[in-house]
Structure 1
Amino acid sequence: MLVLLAFIILFHITSAALLFIATIDNAWWVGEEFFADVWRVCVNNTNCTEIGANFQDYSTMQAVQATMILSTILCCIAFLIFLLQLFRLKQGERFVLTSIIQLMSCLCVMIAASIYTDRREDLHKNNPGWYSLTLEGSYGYSFILAWVAFAFTFISGLMYLILRKRK
């Protein structure tokens, strides 16, 4: 049982690390001379432009930013609640609250990555000078990590749902 518990804790920490990297790192859309994420676009590694109110589809990017941040926060909260429930729950009870919060984190990261996938071309097309970048690039590792984090948080949420506290 101790090995299973260590695996679950390690799996949850890995999920949180993936969410942090995907949210912070600047590699959602990359090309030869540029890279972009949900916060800024950098050309030639020197000319970085923050995505702000002057951005055409700023509300869409805000939705992606907010849901990625929310998924990271929910994942961390789920871990803290898991640790509290680990010592407070009676034997045989399930970690339902932890599972619900982790599945909400999973839903948030899925929404963020889905919005970015759907609106990526429109996000850059409506902003002068950025449309040519969208044609030359490809999805970066942070974007892929966001989808991997989705799978990890989903599996983690299901593990908590079926996990019973045993001796």
Structure 2
Amino acid sequence: MLAILAFIVIFHISSITLLFIATIDNAWWVGTNFTVDIWKTCLNSTDACKEIGSNTPYFQAIQTIQATMILATILCCFGLLCFALQLFRLKQGERFVLTGIIQMLSCLCVMIAAAIYTSLHEKFHPDLNDKSATYGYSFILAWIAFVFTFINSIMYLILRKRK
């Protein structure tokens, strides 16, 4: 049982790490001369970064992505704290339902952010017309974090506190 708990904690911490990297790092949309994330646009030729301002097309959608990624990270961190508290407070045989629900909400937030970015990423920066541009590793890490938080929430809902 100790090995299962250790695996779940490591899995949860890796989910938190993926969420932090995906939220902070500048690689959601990458072209030959630029990198874009949910916070700023950086041009490789001049090493200048410009924050995404309110004059950007679909600025409210970008703010939604920012908010849901931050909320997902906070919920995932809170879920780990909740798991630690429930580990010592729950009676034997009870499930970690609250922790599972918190992780499911974190999963939902990541899915919303990544889905909005998937559908509207080309409209966010119409001035960056690079046909060779692709999704960056931060965007991919966001989808991997979605899968990790979903699996983690299912594990919490199934897990019972045993002796």
User: Is the contact made by 2:95 and 2:157 (CA closer than 8 Å) also made in structure 1?
Assistant: yes
Partner residue of 2:13? Answer: 13
Does 1:57 find its partner at 2:58? yes
| Separation in 2, partners of 1:139, 1:145 | 11
- Report the CA distance between 1:54 and its aligned residue: 1.8
Q: Tell me the SS of whatever aligns to 2:86.
A: helix
Measure, in 2, the Cα distance between the counterparts of 1:148 and 1:56. 27
Q: Which residue of 2 aligns with 1:33?
A: 33
* 1:87-102 correspondence to structure 2 within 5 Å: 87-102=88-103
In structure 2, what is the Cα distance between the partners aligned to 1:52 and 1:161?
41
TM-score, normalising length: structure 1: 0.94
Aligned to 2:23: 23
Q: Structure 2 counterpart of 1:76, which letter?
A: C
Alignment of 1:35-114 (within 5 A): 35-44=35-44, 46-114=47-115
Deviation of the 1:136 alpha carbon? 2.9
For the 8 Å contact 2:75–2:106, the answer to whether it is kept is: yes
Q: Give the total of aligned pairs.
A: 162
1:145-160 correspondence runs (5 A) = 145-160=141-156
Counterpart secondary structure, 2:125: helix
Moved more, 81-90 or 115-124: 115-124
Deviations 1:56-84 (A, max 9, x none): 21101000000000000000000000000
Q: How many angstroms apart in 2 are the aligned matches of 1:90 and 1:78?
A: 19
Distance (Å, rounded) in 2 between the aligned partners of 1:90 and 1:104: 24
Give the 5 Å matches for 1:122-133.
122-125=123-126, 129-130=127-128, 132-133=129-130
Q: Which amino acid in 2 is paired with 1:77? A: F
Q: Which runs of 5+ in 2 are unaligned?
A: none
Q: Distance in 2 between matches of 1:100 and 1:58?
A: 30
Using the alignment, how far apart are the partners of 1:143 and 1:113 within structure 2? 7
Tell me the SS of whatever aligns to 2:35. Answer: strand
Tell me what 2:3 maps to. 3
Whether 1:164 aligns to 2:140 is no
Question: Percent same amino acid at aligned positions?
Answer: 64
Give the deviation of 1:149 after TM superposition.
0.2
Kindly provide the amino acid, as one letter, of the partner of residue 153 in structure 2: G
- CA–CA distance in structure 2, aligned partners of residues 47 and 136 of structure 1: 21
Out of 120, 137, 141, the residue aligned to residue 141 of structure 1 is 137
Query: Deviation of residue 124 (structure 1)?
Result: 1.7
CA distance in 1, matches of 2:123, 2:26: 19
Structure 1: segments with no counterpart, 5+ residues: none
